[in-house]
Structure 1
Amino acid sequence: MYSEQLLEHFQNPKNAGVLAEPAFTVNVENPACGDQLRLTARVEDGVVTAAMFQVRGCTASIGCGSALTVWLTGRRLDEISRLKGSEIAAAIEGLVGGLINESKHAALLMADGVAGLVRVARAG
């Protein structure tokens, strides 16, 4: 049902937790399934230098949260802001080895988190 890559991120999540201040914090939720993502990121000179996550949800959402932090770290905000949500979701899905249709919401939740991060970081 789940790929080896997704299970690896689920069983051994990278960057789980919350970054201390100064960091930007974004909370997003999928109203259909109730999964929740808290994404914290440190941005220096327009580059995400660190990212951590907390997920309350399914195996796919937890695995995608781990993959998201790996994907985000080192990326420029201006680069990220030019991507569509579907492109971000596809990138995360690729990092976890694909998702079954019933789990694609997890990658979309991560894309929502990235969009929120871009908004908060630019505002603040």
Structure 2
Amino acid sequence: MISYLNAQGETLGMSWFHEDTNAPILPICRDMEEETLVRGIPTTLEIRTTGSDAALLDQIYVYRDGVEVKVLGESNSSGWCLSTDRGDANGNWRGHIFQDQCSTIWQFDLR
């Protein structure tokens, strides 16, 4: 689930991301896209999961009215691990994930 929050922590918009199976990067990797209608100007992007099959978030592009306003992360061999299973941090991604841990929630500053 993806939520956009204001400075007071109130939800301005919410959506669920889906896997784009037509855009393979590697045999085990996929690009994911989502669109969210947001009321107001968000200051925080929150991504959360309820699943135990890990997702590695390498780069996140944020657009407003079709214009890129923020890029989080870099196109490299590391990123944020999103999973309810903290043990996923010890798999193939060991040494490639932020803070060497998987989390159910990651928050990103959009300011």
TM-score (norm 1): 0.28
TM-score (norm 2): 0.30
Relative contact order, CA 8 A, sep 6+: which one is greater?
A: 1
More strand per residue: 1 or 2?
2
Q: Which structure has the greater CA radius of gyration?
A: 2
